[in-house]
Structure 1
Amino acid sequence: MEPTFPDLKVMVIDDSKTIRRTTETLLAKAGCEVITAIDGFDALSKIADHRPDIIFVDIMMPRLDGYQTCALIKNNSEFKKTPVIMLSSKDGLFDKAKGRIVGADQYLTKPFSKGELLEAIAAHAEKQSA
């Protein structure tokens, strides 16, 4: 049986409509409330309004990339404990290290599976309730 996460608010920040839609569908089926944003600027205004429990952010985005977005989230005292999971089509050590430097809690490489997505949420949802 797959895990479900009722009452969990998850934000997905990605400039790809396909990734946003696919991720939103998978997460909604797992019982999550999903908030999507098309880039870092869009996300920052929505984070304050919706207060997500977990944030997935794509690295390669126009205007404000994933590293900058993650750094801004983590530098805000209200949201610094919110888990941020970086999404990238690159699986390089440099990218993962840079993600850690800006405060990312985890790194998923695209294309990720439904299982990987739900495992990432499970790991961070448990930490938050602990």
Structure 2
Amino acid sequence: FYKSSRKSIREIDFIFHDAKGQRIHGSAPGFLAKKFKDFKLLEGQATKAEEVCSPMRAVKAEVVDSPMTAVKAEVYSPIRAELYSPIRAVKAEVYSPIRAVKDRIEDLKKRQQTDGEGPMGKKKIKLEKMSASHDLD
């Protein structure tokens, strides 16, 4: 993490090492630069690559083009990113595979209840009328 030779308040250049030890270079806009101004990070200490151009793009991506970047990255609009992210799809109860599986299990349980079982799964006791031949004298 070092300041560039350019004395611009707008940009700070970054050098990070990803998980494979490859260098990643980049610069950040002024507001991100301001945020990390007092944060010191020596070369080789970074295990995850921070953002290269935009803080919204990838915060914890090991490589710039990793799938995690693609999921969390939407350059123009965070709302758009959420609409297309797989996380949003999982959270949508109607189309979620988890919901579908859960409904299927509940449905199978309902089908397995036989006539001999009550709604709580308790067995019904069948009462039979005793015939006159069984009466004791």
**Structure 1 length normalisation: TM-score?**
0.22
Kindly indicate which of the two structures has a greater share of residues assigned to strand.
1
Q: Report the structure number with the largest CA radius of gyration.
A: 2
